[in-house]
A and B are shown apart, each in its own frame.
Chain A
Amino acid sequence: MSTPKIHFEMLLGRMVRDPDGVAVGRIFAAHAEIEGGDCVLREFLLGPGALLERFGFPLGRWRPTRVPWDLLDIADPGHPRLRCSAAELAGRRP
């Protein structure tokens, strides 16, 4: 059990930057799934949209930026880094 552990709550409100330091948005929510008794993190939600969603507010045109877990490096909760460029992330989104 040498796997690193981090405090999830310390991620909240942190600004996510891509490798070039471009700001993508702040983390306000994260979706997980229960599988086989485990609670597994699937994606992070960034930006004001994420905050609105968390408050259960009618979203309107504010949509959260969704980042799949494997695209976000959270080893240092203080400075979450995107594993791809902001542009790529924008491209991925439907």
Chain B
Amino acid sequence: MKKALALTLGIVTSIGGFLDMGALATSAQAGASYRFQLLWTIGLATLLVIFLVEMSGRFAAATRKALPDAIREHFGFTFWLVPFFVLSLSHLLVLGTEIGGICFALHLVSGLPTSFWALPVGVLLVTFLWRSTFNTIEDSTSLLGLITLAFVVAAVSHHPPMKDLLAGFVPTLTAEEPLKYWGIAVSIVGAVLSPYLFYFYSSGAVEDDWDSSFIGVNRGIAALGMGFGSVVAMGALVVAAMVLAPRGIAMDDYHQAALMLTDAFPFWGFLLFAVGLGVACLAASLEVALSMAYATAQTFGWNWGESLDPREDARFGAVYTGAIALSSLIILVGVDPLKLTLLAMATEAAVLPFVALPFLILMNDRKLLKEHANGWISNTVAVIVLLLALVLTVVSIPLALLGGGG
């Protein structure tokens, strides 16, 4: 039973990590500008992310250690210092975009400016994190997250042409405006392969105290959880392709995305979009804030754990509180959410190698993982991710600035 419930960790990781502001925005942008042509990027990203999540879960279950913990321990402080620093910076940017997403959702329903909501949202997030245990966060967000299935329902109700749909899973190398095309492709992969996903998932597995008996379940959870996120992201892409593209609406601004669901659900569509976006971003903000606290506490060996009372791990609590405060500030000063999203995703893609390489090495440490160390399949995927990550690092920032921006 406990093992069945463990699925919520997969779902919440997926909702927060997969369906964050970035993934939804880029999927919608892809659909609006290139109809189904970019579906393959979501497919590819999903495949990779499933493998990576499975690995981080397997690692946590086999060693009872979360990733940042093991990396510091294994590679020593001086090795870990730079990646840790860079990752924390990108975490702050990402947290900013997620908080921005919540604020934008509230702006849609309330009509009040986005920046107005920055402070209330920040306070709400902190109180939620303080008051709740890890399990309550898991259960509530994974339950709320089901709302995002509205994108899938809408996509189906539009009866997208199957032929084009399937063709979309084959990479198109000759698209008009190739710079924009690849810019979006890179952003999608970058948005999905977020480093914090693996920190959060592995730390979560430790919080739910998994042991090696979870390794089998972990596979299913990784596949189902990430699959869930992937399907919703594809749903968003398809809806954008069916609703925005034919009208010649490209996504230059989040407001245009807000119209997506109004064809499928004339009355509820607008609200559903706002709530779906809000929930996804809420889950993501919690996830990023927590994984930042996890990474910091584990790096310095402090007490950590969302299930502990803040009194028992005050420093842990202080980290996520500070992170949320800083990131809310970014929104408060009124940075354009879409630009912030693209920048954040670029930095995420840029830091991916810092995570991928130590990860790959750790997963092959037989002294540590014994029979649970990586097999050749996982290693092949990990190597692919690493190579991809290196490419992303080189191209993500310029492409995001020049192409992805549209």
Contact = CB atoms under 8 A, between A and B. Distances in A.
A56 B366 contact: yes
A89 interface: no
Nearest to B367: A56
Interface in B357-390: 361, 364-368
Contacts of A58: 364
Interface of chain B, helix or strand or loop or mixed?
A: helix
B365 A55 contact: yes
Contacts of A55: 74-75, 361, 365
A74 interface: no
Contact of A57 (B76, B78, B361): B361
Interface in A35-70: 55-58
A57 B364 CA distance: 7
Interface in B31-60: none
A56 B76 contact: no
Contacts of A71: none
A72 interface: no
Contacts of B361: 55-57
A30 to B, nearest CB: 13
Interface of A: 12-13, 55-58
Contacts of B76: 12
Interface in B70-104: 74-76, 78
Contacts of B367: 56
Interface of B: 74-76, 78, 361, 364-368
A13 B79 CA distance: 11
A87 to B, nearest CB: 31
A90 B361 CA distance: 30
Nearest to B75: A55
A10 to B, nearest CB: 11
A58 B76 CA distance: 19
A57 B374 CA distance: 12
A55 B368 CA distance: 10
B371 to A, nearest CB: 14
A50 B374 CA distance: 22
Contacts of A12: 76, 78
B368 to A, nearest CB: 6
B83 to A, nearest CB: 15
A56 B70 CA distance: 13
B66 to A, nearest CB: 18
18 contacts: A12-B76, A12-B78, A13-B78, A55-B74, A55-B75, A55-B361, A55-B365, A56-B74, A56-B361, A56-B364, A56-B365, A56-B366, A56-B367, A56-B368, A57-B361, A57-B364, A57-B365, A58-B364
A94 B367 CA distance: 25
Contacts of B368: 56
A36 to B, nearest CB: 26
A58 B376 CA distance: 14
A35 B255 CA distance: 70
A44 to B, nearest CB: 16
Contacts of A13: 78
Contacts of B75: 55
A76 to B, nearest CB: 20
A13 B75 CA distance: 12
A57 B361 CA distance: 7
Contacts of A57: 361, 364-365
B144 to A, nearest CB: 41
A55 B76 CA distance: 10
Nearest to B368: A56
Given A55-B365, A57-B364, A58-B364, 12 more contacts: A12-B76, A13-B78, A55-B74, A55-B75, A56-B74, A56-B361, A56-B364, A56-B365, A56-B366, A56-B368, A57-B361, A57-B365
